[in-house]
Amino acid sequence: MTHRIVIVGGGAGGLELATRLGRSLGKRGQAQIVLIDANATHLWKPLLHEVAAGSLNSTEDELSYVAQAKWNHFDFQLGRMTGLDRERRKVQLAAIEDDGAILVPEREIGYDSLVLAIGSTTNDFGTPGAAENCIFLDTRAQAERFHRKLLTHYLRAHVSEQPGEYIEVAIVGAGATGVELAAELRNAAEELQAYGMDRIRPEDLRITLVEAGPRILPALPERIAGQAHRTLEKLGVRVLTGSAVKEVRADGLQTAGEFVPASLKVWAAGIRAPAFLKDLAGLETNRINQLVVNSTLQTTRDPNVFALGDCAACPLTPGDTRTVPPRAQSAHQQASLLVKTFKARLEGKPLPDYVYKDYGSLISLSRFSAVGNLMGGALGSLTLEGWLARTFYVSLYRMHQVALYGPLRALALFAGDHLRRKTEPRLKLH
């Protein structure tokens, strides 16, 4: 029988893996590739802060899994994983319902090799009131919900006869997502004023970025993080460091030192793997529910189950006690390794080991600037800022498109995006 590789999770790593395996093993009939995801479309997760601010129309940048499967010789199954039977090698999926009616009953999908690539969710660390009063940015639906709330506040102010209207936004967590969202919101404020919603001036969108640690962007060198901090302050963003949130209320955040009023609150601090992974079918997990894997990305208790991306606790190098950071580049590297892995597995050869390579980080500050560093290559470590950093930042998404669509179709998408910018509003206004 044809070896069946089932991939659960159509994020950056899972979708790239399914696409590349489909083009190679699937196209040649050497393996059957099946991708499972709870959604019908894919949107690159690093873009969610732009969806939240309205800088990106998510319907124009989404990818249909069904179409991608047809083009790249793999199968797509819509469903949400609920369990795993390792003895029978079956993935268990929840029923699909619509308005209370069951469209597809609970079902199982068999596998010979299983790859779990289901990403991560925001970790609120059990902070009282966070889950009830904050919006997380884990999914497209959550990002769109924040955007609708932001527009609602603007529309209310636009028709109000009360003077001195303003909106207070608090963002918890000054990692990449929090910093990029703060800058995009400042850009959104200026665009909304330009489109006639001028009852709230840009400075009246009062943005506070709250970080428990001593500085923003802890993953970046201190000098680069300092440059981003100064840019945010120039844009009118209030940055509070060393301010752990003790409680979230409907009207704002209580930190150790002060109360931060906010009608809109976003939690962007910390990650954890989905809760259902904890003790899934007896597989080993860590304190944030990540599946513990060895350097071949095989789970420690089952060589037929692999994991990649944010849901995997993978050593930086074979035998290292440190684990790979949860970044898009990590998932991309691991997907590339697993393409080689499954070719070797079908041929009965030893599996390659994963060694993490840090190529640096880039942070977008909307149209205002970008900062970051690139690592590796002949130049070693290279610090970037301004338009050059912004160019490299945009290229990361274009590289993701090339991996999914191929160079010619990715070039056509780039041209289409350029034309849309000439004919559509610069901000999503609905």
**Hey, what domains does the chain have and what are their CATH numbers?**
3-120+273-346 (3.50.50.60), 130-269 (3.50.50.60), 360-423 (no CATH)
Residue-level pLDDT at 377:
58
- The residue behind tokens 């150790």 is 256
Q: What is the pTM of this model?
A: 0.93
Q: Which of 300, 328, 333, 304 is nearest to 316 (CA)?
A: 333
Q: In this predicted model, what pLDDT tens digit does every residue of 11-68 receive, in sequence order?
A: 999 999 999 999 999 999 999 999 999 999 999 999 999 999 999 888 888 999 999 9
> How far is it, in rounded angstroms, from Cα 347 to Cα 236?
59
Q: Average pLDDT over the chain, rounded to whole? A: 92
pLDDT, tens only, 82-119? 999 999 999 999 999 888 888 889 999 999 999 999 99
Among 362, 360, 392, 394, smallest CA distance to 377 is for: 360
What does the pLDDT read at residue 184? 96
Average pLDDT over residues 416-426: 78
Amino acid at 374: L
Whether the CB-CB separation of 126 and 18 falls below 8 Å is answered with: no
Rounded to an integer, the average pLDDT of 226-246 is 95
State residue 31 phi and psi, 5-degree precision.
-160, 155
The predicted-structure confidence for 303-362, as pLDDT tens digits, reads as follows: 999 999 999 999 999 988 899 999 889 999 999 999 999 999 999 999 999 999 988 888
- Chain centroid, CA 335 distance in Å: 16
Please check the confidence at residue 388 and state whether its pLDDT lies above 60.
Answer: yes
**Do residues 370 and 390 make contact, with C-beta atoms less than 8 angstroms apart?**
yes
For residue 306, the Cα-to-chain-centroid distance in whole angstroms is 20
Closest CA to 205 of 186, 184, 192: 186
| Alpha helices (H) along 5-47 | 12-21
Q: For the chain, how far is it from start to end, CA to CA, in angstroms?
A: 51
pLDDT in the model for residue 410:
86
pLDDT average, residue stretch 250-264: 95
Task: Name residue, tokens 């991560």.
Answer: 120
pLDDT tens readout for residues 367-380: 898 888 887 655 56
The pLDDT value given to residue 378: 53
383, two tokens: 């610090």
Closest CA to 180 of 362, 8, 363: 363
